[in-house]
Structure formats: C-alpha cells, structure tokens
C-alpha cells in the first residue's frame, strides 16, 4: 500500500508539472509498464518521431533511448527535449560510427544511403534517408532501381528489406541489436511447437526473421499465421486479429500494452529474456526529476541537425 501511494503521488506530481510546463511525455513500446501507463503518446520510433514533429508542447520528455531524443531535438530545435537518463543508449546505434559510414560511402560514391532510425545524429547527417522497421521497404522501393543502396546498421532488417524488395544492388552493414539478435530460430520453433494455434509476430530486427521468412516461404511455418511486423504494426494486428494466442518475437516490453489492450488474448514471448536494459532505465522518479530540474537537455549541433533533418523528413513522409 505504501509503495502504491508513493507511486500515485509521483504520477500526480508528474501530471501537475506537465500542465505547468506545457510538456508532453513520449514513450516507446519497450518502456517499463509504469512509464507506458502515463505516456501521452506511446508507440514505435516512427510514431514517436511524428508525434514529436506535430506536438504544440514546449517541452518533450522522451522516454526511450538517446537516438530517439536526438531525433526529437532535430525535428524541434526550438523546444526543450529531455531524456530522463543519459545512460539510455542503444547497442545497434553504437554498431556504426560516422567515420565508418564515410569510408563506406567512399567505396560506393554513387550509392544512396538508407539509415535505420537507430543511429546517431552524425550518421543521420551523412544519410540520404532514414527509415524505421515499419517503412524501410517502402523507402527502399522509392529509390530508383539502378541506384546502389547502402543500408545500415541492422543486418537482419537489411536482409528482410532486401528480400522483400528483390533488390540485388543493396549492401548491408553487419550491425545488430544485441537483444533482437538473441531471439533465435530455434526458440521460435520450440514455442510454436507448444502453441501451434498461435499467430507468430516477428520483428524484422530479430535473429530469427530471415530464417522465418524462408520457413514461411517453404510452408514449414504457416503462411497465414506468420507475420513480420514493426512494434506498432504488431499492436495493430493483435488488436484486429480474431486469434486468441500470439507468439511475440521482439523485446518483451511490448507485451504489457498488448495485454492491456486485449485482456482476453494470450501473448507468449518467443524469448522471455529479450529485455533491453537501456529501455528499462527510465523510471517514474527519473521522469519527475527531469521535469523538475530539466535533466537531461538533448541538443544537436545546428550543422549536423540541418543535414540530418533532411533524411528524417523523408522518413516521416513515407509509409
């Protein structure tokens, strides 16, 4: 009871400070349940980027990881962007540096660079397009077929996009999200064996995504039950589907929202240990302190922001 009272008190104080400061709370689907429950906007990277672009709030409290707050800062240079914990990083974003990208571009001087949103502002500034898992295929399809494409940094998403688009002149950076990469084909197969009436919802960043596409094409995984989707698309699908069970192959944080929106359906994690420690760093206490003390303000140098915004604008407008 004491813990609940303390939590309620913190939530009430956050709500009061949001009103006082004309602030909005944006949260990713992988955040802890307490953060998801108080978010003004909850979604995947694309939905949150669009929300950041369209908000009339003066202050954006970003409950996600560092690159997401940077994206909001690029889209809203006149607003205050707060990240409650500076240590909330991303192993995938760290898998490529701007110097590595510049070297890669020199090896393919005519190529179009498509960067997953899970990258630093500096990498975005060297890119022609940004994308998310929900619109990566649409963005690559929008590029003239004769143009080489450099896709970075996620190898599993890249392989998925290459297969979906049929594009042979697409080169893929060999980076990965350590959490999604840890969801292996054998785990999905084992869970499906025990729940063979369930629909399979697989994030394209997962280590099982490429093999699942192959198994689906071969008929080993049922065509009508196997779906490769972004986190936002997973939520939409589970809300609309008549299925009663779902195997979820992504970071487990999304299951909270799935269960909340569909209390009569069952959601089973393909790998219950698929937990991103960075996504779990932000707490109610840190959000409160962030609103009270402006911790931590995220800014991007103007020159980098101006170049990166061009790629992000394309991401927001497509798909």
Q: Supply the mean pLDDT for the chain.
A: 93
Q: Say what the pLDDT of residue 209 is.
A: 73
CB atoms < 10 A from the CB of 77, how many? Answer: 13
Distance, in Å, from the CA atom of 87 to the CA atom of 13, rounded to the nearest integer, reads 24
pLDDT tops 70 at residue 12: yes
Q: What is the mean pLDDT of residues 147-172?
A: 95
pLDDT one-digit tens code per residue, 55-74: 999 999 999 999 999 999 99
CB 209 within 8 A of CB 250: no
Output the known binding site: 28, 45, 90, 116-118, 133, 177, 203-205, 231, 276
Residues placed in the known binding site for iminosuccinate: 28, 45, 116-118, 133, 203-205, 231
Q: What is the pLDDT of residue 245?
A: 97
Q: What is the mean pLDDT of residues 30-37?
A: 97
Domains and CATH numbers, the chain: 2-89+279-300 (3.40.50.10800), 93-176 (3.40.50.10800), 179-269 (3.40.50.10800)
State the pLDDT at residue 210: 65
Q: Which residues are annotated as a binding site for [4Fe-4S] cluster?
A: 90, 177, 276
- Average pLDDT of the segment spanning 64-86: 96
What whole-number distance in Å separates Cα of residue 127 and Cα of residue 151? Answer: 10
Whole-number Cα distances in Å, 47 to 29, 317, 319: 10, 12, 11
| Section 114-121 average pLDDT | 95
Top-ranked range on mean pLDDT: pick from 1-15, 199-213, 237-251: 237-251
CB contact at 8 A, 11 and 26 = no
> 231 phi and psi, to 5 degrees?
-60, -40
- Other beta carbons within 10 angstroms of residue 6's beta carbon come to 12
Q: CA dihedral in degrees (41, 45, 51, 54; nearest 10)?
A: 180
């Amino acid at each position: 009871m004491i813990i609940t009272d303390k939590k309620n008190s913190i939530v009430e104080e956050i709500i009061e400070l949001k009103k006082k400061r004309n602030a909005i709370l944006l949260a990713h689907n992988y955040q802890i349940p307490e953060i998801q429950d108080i978010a003004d906007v909850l979604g995947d990277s694309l939905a949150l980027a669009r929300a950041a672009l369209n908000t009339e709030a003066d202050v954006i409290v970003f409950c996600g990881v560092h690159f997401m707050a940077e994206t909001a800062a690029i889209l809203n240079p006149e607003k205050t962007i707060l990240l409650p914990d500076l240590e909330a990083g991303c192993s995938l974003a760290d898998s490529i540096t701007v110097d590595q990208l510049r070297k890669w571009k020199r090896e393919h001087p005519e190529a179009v660079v498509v960067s997953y949103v899970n990258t630093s502002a500096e990498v975005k500034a060297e890119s022609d397009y940004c994308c998310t898992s929900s619109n990566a295929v649409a963005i690559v399809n929008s590029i003239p077929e004769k143009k080489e494409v450099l896709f970075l940094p996620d190898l599993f998403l890249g392989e998925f996009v290459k297969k979906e688009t049929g594009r042979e002149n697409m080169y893929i950076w060999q980076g990965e999200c350590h959490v999604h990469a840890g969801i292996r084909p054998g785990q999905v197969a084992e869970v499906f064996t025990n729940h063979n009436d369930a629909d399979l919802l697989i994030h394209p960043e997962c280590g099982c995504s490429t093999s699942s596409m192959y198994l689906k094409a071969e008929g080993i995984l049922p065509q009508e039950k196997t779906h490769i989707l972004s986190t936002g698309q997973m939520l939409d699908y589970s809300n609309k589907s008549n299925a009663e069970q779902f195997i979820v192959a992504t970071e487990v944080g999304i299951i909270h929202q799935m269960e909340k929106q569909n209390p009569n359906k069952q959601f089973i994690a393909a790998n219950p240990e698929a937990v991103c420690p960075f996504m779990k760093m932000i707490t109610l206490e840190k959000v409160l302190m962030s609103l009270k003390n402006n911790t931590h303000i995220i800014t991007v140098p103007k020159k980098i922001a101006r170049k990166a915004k061009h790629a992000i604008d394309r991401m927001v407008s497509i798909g």
